[in-house]
Amino acid sequence: MAGHIINGNSGTIPRVGDEEEGVGQLVLDLQEKGTNFVLLKKTPQILELQTILKDRTTNHSDFVFNADRLMRLVIEEGLNHLPFTEHTVTTPTGFRYEGIQFNRGNCGVSLCRSGEAMEVSLRQCCRCIRIGKILIGDEQKVLYARLLPDINSRRVLLLYPTIGSGTTVCKAIEVLKEARVPDENIYLVALFISPTGLKNITRKYPYITVVASDITSLYPNHFSTSYFGAV
């Protein structure tokens, strides 16, 4: 799969992520390296959702509602990059329609705890998809991993909404690779990813696909508390 980056063409709309130092060069480096990095188009809708999630005054109900909307959008974009085949059907009026059908063999893996928030959005898009879980504790110790027995033959959507240093994600990818999942079958889906995290992850695993709505260090690192509520 050829490396590509999808950037928003948003006219006079401010590109919040691009204001950070080094982000533009990082995007160019990824293009040259051939990394499959997909950035959602910066539409007014996307920017408003990002603004609400970054606002410390957003209440729990509004945070969950808008997080769910943004998670659905990034997951839909992630699904766009899965392989498919041509498929012809007959319409109710008897005409043949030449469309497509996504290949079978996809699954999700949520990186607990915040990654579990993305499971509902994934199931809204793929009703019967099977989802595993990975829990990583202090000092990057794997506390729990429930993966499908045949995961090595599947394409994996790794779910984690906010990525800082990328250390936890790299450990999760290591777990997937230990289960013999090829790099090119791993699709990391996130809402926000920091420049440092993106660099660290793609340097170590340049052949995975990364899908995000924003490259920014101003990500809501309180995501789990704001989404699930205080323990």
Tell me the whole-structure pTM to 2 decimals: 0.88
User: Which long-range contacts does 223-229 make (Cβ < 8 Å, 24+ apart)?
Assistant: 223/53, 223/67, 223/114, 223/117, 223/161, 223/162, 223/191, 224/113, 224/114, 224/117, 226/53, 226/58, 226/60, 226/63, 226/67, 227/63, 227/64, 227/67, 227/114, 227/117, 228/113, 228/117, 229/60
Number of Cβ atoms within 10 Å of the Cβ of 105? 13
pLDDT of residue 181: 97
Three-class secondary structure assignment of 52-104? HHHCCCCCHHHHHHHHHHHHHHHHHHHHCCCCEEEEEEECCCCCEEEEEEECC
Q: Tell me, yes or no, whether 220 lies in a domain.
A: yes
Closest to 187 (Cα-Cα) out of 168, 201, 197, 167: 201
Which amino acid is present at 122?
A: L
Q: What is the CATH number of the domain that holds 130?
A: 3.40.50.2020
pLDDT of residue 12: 42
Q: Tell me, yes or no, whether 229 lies in a domain.
A: no
Segment-wise mean pLDDT, segments of 10 residues, the chain, 231 residues: 46 45 78 87 95 95 97 96 95 96 94 94 94 93 95 97 96 97 97 94 94 92 89 51
Number of domains in the chain: 1
pLDDT of residue 96: 96
Q: Tell me, yes or no, whether 121 lies in a domain.
A: yes
Q: Tell me, yes or no, whether 210 lies in a domain.
A: yes
For the chain, list the strands marked E by DSSP.
36-39, 84-90, 96-102, 106-112, 130-136, 142-146, 155-159, 162-163, 186-189, 192-193, 209-212, 214-215
Q: Tell me, yes or no, whether 212 lies in a domain.
A: yes
Domain that holds residue 58: 27-80+107-224
Q: Tell me, yes or no, whether 144 lies in a domain.
A: yes
Q: Tell me, yes or no, whether 95 lies in a domain.
A: no
Q: Tell me, yes or no, whether 190 lies in a domain.
A: yes
